[in-house]
Amino acid sequence: MDLDKNKPGTAPARRRYVTTRRLDRIFVELAKVYRFNARFFREVWFPPYEFKEIIKQCYEIGVRSLPLISLTGFIIGIVFTNQSRPSLADFGATSLLPALISVAIIRAIGPLVTALIAAGRVGSAIGAELGSMRVTEQIDAMEVSATNPFKFLVVSRVLASTLMIPALTMFTTLVSLLGGYLNVHQNELTSLSVFFYQVFDAITFLDIVASSVKSVIFGFTIGMVGCYKGYNSSKGTEGVGKAANSSVVTAMFLIFIEELLIMQVINAIRAF
Chain residues binding another protein by CB under 8 A are 48, 129, 132-133, 136-138, 140-147
Q: Which is nearer to another protein, 107 or 134 (CB)?
A: 134
How much is the CA Rg of the chain, to the nearest whole Å? 23
Q: Which is nearer to another protein, 87 or 136 (CB)?
A: 136
CB of 37 to another protein, least distance (A): 19
- Distance CA(266)–CA(259), nearest Å, equals 10
DSSP designation for 63: I
Residue 69, class by beta-carbon neighbours within 10 Å (0-12 exposed, 13-18 middle, 19+ buried)?
buried
Contact predicate 245/132, CB 8 Å: no
Q: Which is nearer to another protein, 137 or 238 (CB)?
A: 137
Angle, vertex CA 271, rays to CA 269 and CA 272, nearest 5: 65
What's the distance, CA 130 to chain centroid? 18
CB of 209 to another protein, least distance (A): 37
CB of 144 to another protein, least distance (A): 4
| Element (DSSP H or E) covering residue 108 | none
Q: Helix, strand, coil: what percent of the chain each, to 5?
A: 90, 0, 10
Contact predicate 131/240, CB 8 Å: yes
CB of 142 to another protein, least distance (A): 8
Buried b (16+ CB within 10 A) or exposed e, 210-231: bbeebbbbbbbbbbbbbbbbbb
CB of 18 to another protein, least distance (A): 18
- Distance CA(105)–CA(67), nearest Å, equals 19
CB of 133 to another protein, least distance (A): 7
CB of 106 to another protein, least distance (A): 37
Q: Which is nearer to another protein, 48 or 86 (CB)?
A: 48
Q: Which is nearer to another protein, 201 or 238 (CB)?
A: 238
User: What's the one-letter identity of residue 56?
Assistant: K
What's the distance, CA 171 to chain centroid? 15
Q: Which is nearer to another protein, 134 or 214 (CB)?
A: 134
Q: Is 233 helix (H, G, I), strand (E, B) or coil?
A: coil
CB of 165 to another protein, least distance (A): 22
Q: Which is nearer to another protein, 6 or 145 (CB)?
A: 145
Q: Which is nearer to another protein, 113 or 122 (CB)?
A: 122
